[in-house]
Each structure stands twice: as C-alpha cells, then as structure tokens.
Amino acid sequence: MKTIEDMVCPFCGCLCDDVTLTVENDMIIAADNCCTVGNAKFMGKNRLKSPIIRKNGAWEETGYEEAVQYAVDTLLDADRPLMFGWSGTHGEAQCIGVHMNELIGGVIDSTTSVCHGPSILAIQEVGHPGCTLGQVKNRADLIIYWGCNPVEGHPRHMSRYTVYADGYFLDNSFRDRKVIVVDVRETETAKIADEFVRIKPGGDYAVISALRAIVRGKGDIIPESVAGVSREQLFKVAELCKTCKFGALFFGLGLTMVKGKYKNVRNAIELVDELNRHTKFTLTPMRGHWNVYGSNEVFTWMTGYPYAVDFCRGVAFYNPGETSAIDILARKECDACLVVASDPGAHFPRACVEHMKDIPTIVIDPFQTLTTTVATLQIPVAVTGIDAEGTAYRMDGIPLKVKKALDLGYPSDEEILSRIYGKMMEVKSR
C-alpha cells in the first residue's frame, strides 16, 4: 500500500491539487481532501475492458487496432464530420484533435457551446476583469455568487478559495468576508449567504442594470422593485460592493443560459468595470468540466477561435449558433460524429441525439455513458488524473500538470487520437 500526495482532482474547474490517494494492488482505495463527487470519480469502477463495436444491432468486443481503423475509415469517408467534447481530457489530446479536424475539414466543438459560450462572446466584446483564485482567497472581503450553486456544483470552491478559506491579507477571513448570493431560488449556497437576492427568472439583466445605475449615482431613477428585488435591497447590495476592499463576482449557467445570455455577462462585466472606479472588483466564470477552460485555450492557440471551429472552407472560422455542435446536429448536417470525453447523449436535445443514432458515432471514453447507447463504436481509454497524465487549466486560467497514480494498461486519449491521426495522414499522403 502506498500514498500519493498532491494529486489533481479531474472533476470540476476547481482542479483541487491537494488530493492524497491511497493505492493498493493497482486500486485506489481512498481519496483524501476530496469532495464527494471527486471521490466518486477516483473510486469509479466498471470501466469498459476493451473496445466495443455495434454489429447487427448488438455489441461485440473488438481490438484497439480494428477500432482505430474503423474510426479512420469513418471520419475520412464523412463529408461533414463533427468532433465534440474535449472538456474532459488533457490539453495534449486536444491538440491532436485540432490537427485531425483540420486534416479532414470538419467541425470541432467543446462543451463550452452549451455552458459558458456566452461568457466568451461577452469577454470578446468588453474584456475580462479577472484574477487568480489565489488572489481571491487572500484578498477578497466580498464574494458574490450569481446564478451558481457551488455547494453542490463545486463543493470545495468555498473552502479553498472564498467563504471558509484563510486570507493572507485578511485578519479574520471567516468573520470579515461578506457573501452575496443572487439566484431565482434559495439554493444550499443561498442559505449561508449574508445577503440573498432572489430575482424573478429572466430578470438578471434588469437587476444588473439597476445596480450599475446606483453605482453611477443615478439611483433616483430606480423604481420600487426591479425583477422582484426591492429598491432598498438593490441600494444595500450596491453599497456593499462599493465599500468592500476587494470584491469577486463568480457566475454560472444561471446567468449564461437564461434569457439575455451573453448580454447578461457583458452587463455584469460592465458592472464590475463601474465598481472598479470605487474599489477593486473581479469577475470569474464558474467553469464546470475540469479542463473546459483548457479546450478554449488550445483551440484559440491553434485556430484563433475558442470553440465551434469549422474547417470546411480549408481555413478556420467560427460562428456560434451556426457552427456549434447542437446546431449542426439539429440541422442533420453532419454525417459522422466523434465524441471525446463527453456525454452529449445525456444533455443534448432529443433531436440531436436521434441524429447521432442515425449516423456513425464513435465514443472515446473510459466508461459506458448514455452516448454509448446511440454509438456505433466505443474505445475505452485511461482516465487523466488516475492512469494518464497531461495538462489542464483551472477555471481562473492557471495551467496545472495532472499526474497519474496507476498504470492499468489503457492507452490515453492522446495515444488513441495520435494513432487515428497517424493513419489518416498515411491515407492522405498516398
């Protein structure tokens, strides 16, 4: 039995890097300093043993060589291939994916298009007043969670970086920090807030605009209530924001995937800009998948665009709403689909999943998922952070090396994709 310290948890965008694993007989038997969901990932069982391919409506086991060849033939034969996922794998594998996509003239998209895609659009328009989570931990005396519920979605976010974390520049972090939660319902996070602001669904833009007006000294135009929030509470929140020493606004899909979408985020960024005339204030998206930020970084380095990148013209271009995965699947435009480290079968609209069932769909994932039920081939791989290593980006843009603890003999995402890409290059060069 041995213990391995300082492992990085490959579950959410927090990328907690203080996990200690206990390993015995090539099995992880304990994961300390881990939240419940991270623990479940480290202790996960029932991994697929070998590639499986669907023949005559039934699954059959096949070899890695045959599976790779099937993937090569399928993707090269396709006129409009789609490669989706990428947020649950490491950066080195994402690089191979972009190269593959460029070679065959397809579309590559990550889960960003169904989570924080609007945040990126807003940041492209007005910039990103961000900072590291370390700065928040050590300096912030006011935390705002808007449209997110870290108690359940990012369970260690508050203990490592905000509510319960010690701050180097704060005398008594726990007592001195104020927490504001803005949401349409009273979540578990809202129950521990100093100030809970309940807004009507779809009222985010109006409430942010009201706060901006107050911060700019135009409070006399604010009506008695805005989207269910009283004028008195709006002034109270604005005063807390203006008078703090360092404020940090975190926001989730409750802001990006509701009425207003990227306009909400743009308005929030401009609110933070207004507040920086009075104090220091930052804004950070609560990224979900552990390396979704990394997919945006890698895609941008290599193509100039963060997600939904289309190579059908021979050069990269992107137009979210047209070149994003859901839109392409809904229009039944693609004729082959490669899913890497994601489960669109569990989250995409029914029409999209039905089209995935009608076309060759290849899944690269350690576990069987709902996407497996509509796939024609699944290739099991190593789990980055357990039996594979690579680079990942935390939600604040900090790159971390994700180590491996075991060697179970599975190929990594990078190895499988490299083999597929290598064979594609051979065919193309003939």
Whose tokens are 């980055």? That residue is: 384
Residue 193 in contact with residue 156, Cβ under 8 Å? no
Q: How confident is the model at residue 45 (pLDDT cuts 50, 70, 90)?
A: confident
Tens of pLDDT along 107-150?
Answer: 999 999 999 999 999 999 999 999 999 999 999 999 999 999 99
pLDDT in the model for residue 243: 97
Q: Both tokens of residue 138?
A: 């050590």
pLDDT in the model for residue 173: 86
d(CA 196, CA 230): 12
pLDDT in the model for residue 422: 98
Tens of pLDDT along 339-363?
Answer: 999 999 999 999 999 999 999 999 9
Tens of pLDDT along 211-240?
Answer: 999 999 999 999 999 999 999 999 999 999
pLDDT in the model for residue 66: 97
Secondary structure class of 56 (helix, strand, coil)? coil
319-326's contacts with Cβ under 8 Å and 24+ in sequence apart are 320/113, 320/117, 320/121, 323/107, 323/109, 324/109, 324/113, 324/117, 325/82, 325/84, 325/107, 325/109, 325/113, 325/114, 325/352, 326/113, 326/114, 326/352
Q: What is the mean pLDDT of residues 382-395?
A: 97
pTM, two decimal places: 0.95
Q: What is the mean pLDDT of residues 31-39?
A: 94
pLDDT in the model for residue 175: 86
pLDDT in the model for residue 304: 97
* Average pLDDT of the chain to the nearest whole number: 96
d(CA 90, CA 412): 10
Q: What is the mean pLDDT of residues 65-80?
A: 98
Q: How confident is the model at residue 207 (pLDDT cuts 50, 70, 90)?
A: very high
